[in-house]
Amino acid sequence: MRKLKFFMIGMIPGLLLVFFILNKKGASCSGYLPNSRVIAESLSKKPVYSADFSEAMAENNVDETFLKDSIMTEGNIDFDKSQAQKQPCPTYILHYPKKNPRFEITFEKCSAETTYQRFKKIR
């Protein structure tokens, strides 16, 4: 019982210290899963919009800010339909929102830029 007490006396301040240090550095574990990684990498690259994509965005009253802040960050990559192993630029299909999707976006993630190819309203 005494060992457990000493263990807890050391562990609790240690956890608090680690929590505050990591919180100040802005570290997070949210980018660990493949869906989060693909979206984060795509958003960090220069966006290039195809003519069809731009027209479809205008038809659906979607602007670039809404695309980046809501659709891309809250969307879900469909890895079954995507060509994630395609070289040199993998092609991904994203559904937004995750439940009962309304939009389907097809984009290609290259080393320097993300090319948005198709914007489709599902329902």
The secondary element (H helix, E strand) that includes residue 90 is none
State residue 26's pLDDT score.
62
Closest CA to 69 of 39, 98, 49: 39
Q: Where are the beta strands (DSSP E) in the chain?
A: 46-49, 76-77, 91-96, 103-109, 113-121
More confident residue, 97 or 28: 97
Q: How confident is the model at residue 112 (pLDDT cuts 50, 70, 90)?
A: very high
Contact 83, 96 (CB under 8 A): no
Q: Which residue has the tokens 């984060």?
A: 40
Q: What confidence tens digit (pLDDT) does each residue in 24-54 have?
A: 766 666 667 889 899 999 999 999 999 999 9
Domain positions in the chain are: 1-29, 31-121
